Structure formats: C-alpha cells, structure tokens
Amino acid sequence: MTKRAKSLAAERRRKTTLSVVLAVICVIYVLPVVSVLINSFKKNTYVKTDTFALPTGDMWAGFDNFKTGMTFGNYPFLKSVLYSVIITILSTFLILLFTSMAAWYIARVNSFVCKIFYYLCVFSMVVPFQMVMFTLSKTADTLKLNTPWTIPIVYLGFGAGLAIFMFVGFVKSIPVEIEEAASIDGCGPLRTYFMVVLPMLKPTMISVGILEIMWIWNDYLLPSLVLDINKYRTIPIHIQYLKGSYGTVDLGATMALILMSIIPVIVFYLICQKYIIKGVAAGAVKG
C-alpha cells in the first residue's frame, strides 16, 4: 500500500470515528425529546412505570393528556401562551434594537469609556444569575418591572452581554468608508444607522434573535422571581403548577404541555438555522 493510500485510509477511519461519536451525542440530546413525545400520549400511571415504552394498548391515552393540561386549574393555558409570546417578542425586539445601536457606537468611537463598557458587558456573561437574583427581584418590585409589559427591560439587561459581544465583532468587520460616504451625502447618525448599518447587520441580527428567543421562551427562573405568578404565568410556570391535591402531579398532562411548548421552538429553529450559519459565515468572510 502506497503512502497516499495509507493516508486516505486513515482519513476515512478518522471521519468514520467522528461520525459515530457525533451520532452518539445526537442520540443523547434527542432522547429526552423522544421521551417527552411518547409519554405525552400515555396514561399517568404508565409514565412512571414504563417510561421508555411505546404508548400501546392500555398505556394509550390519546389526546386526553393535552385536554387535561389545557383545562387544569383556574388559570387558562392560552393566557400563559399569550404572556410568553408578549414577553418573548418585546424582549427580543428591545435586545436587538438597543444592543445593535450600542455595539455600533462602541465599535466606531472606540474610546476608553466605550472599552470599559464593552468589557463590562462581556463580563456580565460569566456572572452566575444566582448571585444577583434576590437583588434583582427586589429591584424589579421597586421599579414596577414585574409585569409582562415591563419585564422585557430586565431581559434587555441580561441579554445585552452576548448580543453586544456578537454585534461589536461584526460591526468592526464593516468598512467605515461606507458610513463616511453616507455622512457626506447628508445622513446624520440615526439615518446612517437605520439606512446603512442596520441592513448590513441582518445576518448577525437574525442569529442573535434566534438565540434570544430560544432563551426567553424557555426561561423559568427569571419570570418566577419577577412576575406575580397569581396574575401572570408564562408557559414554564404554568407547567410547574400542574399539581393536584396533596402535591400530586399528572405527569401525562405535564409531558403533553411540555411537548406543546417545545414544538414552536423546534420548528422555529429548524426554519431559521440556515440564517445562523449565514450569520457566522458572513462574519468570517468580512473579517
């Protein structure tokens, strides 16, 4: 066997090994979703005893779990869906708008104060949420940020770190001569941002938006600390309160609502994942 043939054979073995490892990792990640899917159609008794068995025969509950979960208690499930949608859309909008503008200013001014602000934003990504959650809860109550229409301001603070980090890296790759040409044509800072910079930020903005939506939609801890859960419940909080007398939990109904909550995120991610790749690729090419 020639040296080239040996090299090709080694390369094939390496790719095969890598494919097997990635396949195993994929199965590990997909298994919880599959478990939720099959248990959402089982009767409550069998969810505990036959967790990984297919819902056949006496185990089959049909769509009764979905009906039970949506009509359980005195708090409508659709109301929780509405609050989750409102919080997710408003929070993502605020994060994308204000962090992209801040990142553009940081990248272009590049002063000492801007650098300090940028590093503080980056540092916020490594600070554990548990360190600030009690202070945050008290501050949110004092400033009346404990409603679905005001909690997006809190999300803006927590989502700014990652968003500014990604936007600054992309803005630095944009030639400043484009903005100078717009300035010569009479554009002020706001017109330059909205008419020149913002369209070029589209790939990174979509990538950041997808990440923020997935985080906010599935978040349980922050809304449970800030919101009045007797008035406002997001989907994760609603699922948490699927309890009967003496604290008993209908696992079948719980699995059904979990499935309903993750399907929109999965579909949204599958539709938009190509934009994440485009955003990363655009930044790499421009850099």
Tens of each residue's pLDDT in the chain, 287 residues: 577 777 777 888 888 899 999 999 988 988 888 888 898 888 888 888 888 888 888 888 888 888 888 887 788 888 999 999 999 999 999 999 999 999 999 998 888 999 999 998 888 888 888 888 888 888 888 888 889 999 999 999 888 988 998 898 888 888 888 888 888 888 888 888 888 888 888 888 888 888 899 899 999 989 998 998 888 999 999 888 877 555 677 788 888 899 998 888 888 888 877 776 665 555 444 44
β-bridge mates for residue 243, sequence order? 249
pLDDT tens readout for residues 11-35 = 888 888 999 999 999 889 888 888 8
Alpha helices in the chain (DSSP H): 3-39, 44-49, 64-71, 77-109, 112-124, 133-142, 151-171, 176-184, 189-192, 198-200, 202-218, 221-226, 235-240, 251-286
- Write phi, then psi, for 25 (nearest 5 degrees): -60, -40
pLDDT tens readout for residues 130-141 = 888 888 888 888
pLDDT tens readout for residues 68-113 = 888 877 888 889 999 999 999 999 999 999 999 999 999 988 889 9
For residue 184 the two structure tokens come to 């010569």
Mean residue pLDDT of the chain comes to 85
CA atoms of 141 and 151, how far apart (whole Å) = 11
Residue 9: burial class (beta carbons within 10 Å; 0-12, 13-18, 19+): exposed
* C-alpha of 15 from chain center: 31
Q: Give the pLDDT of residue 90.
A: 96
Task: Please give the CATH topology (third level) of the domain spanning 66-286.
Answer: MetI-like fold (1.10.3720)
Q: Give the pLDDT of residue 92.
A: 95
- 2: Cα within 13 Å, side-chain hemisphere: 3
Instruction: Please state the domain extents for the chain.
Output: 66-286
DSSP 127: S
Contacting residues for 250 by C-beta, under 8 A, at least 6 apart: 44, 65, 68, 69, 72, 242, 244
Q: Give the pLDDT of residue 286.
A: 45
Q: Give the pLDDT of residue 279.
A: 58
- Write phi, then psi, for 249 (nearest 5 degrees): -115, 130
Q: Give the pLDDT of residue 287.
A: 41
CA atoms of 164 and 34, how far apart (whole Å) = 35
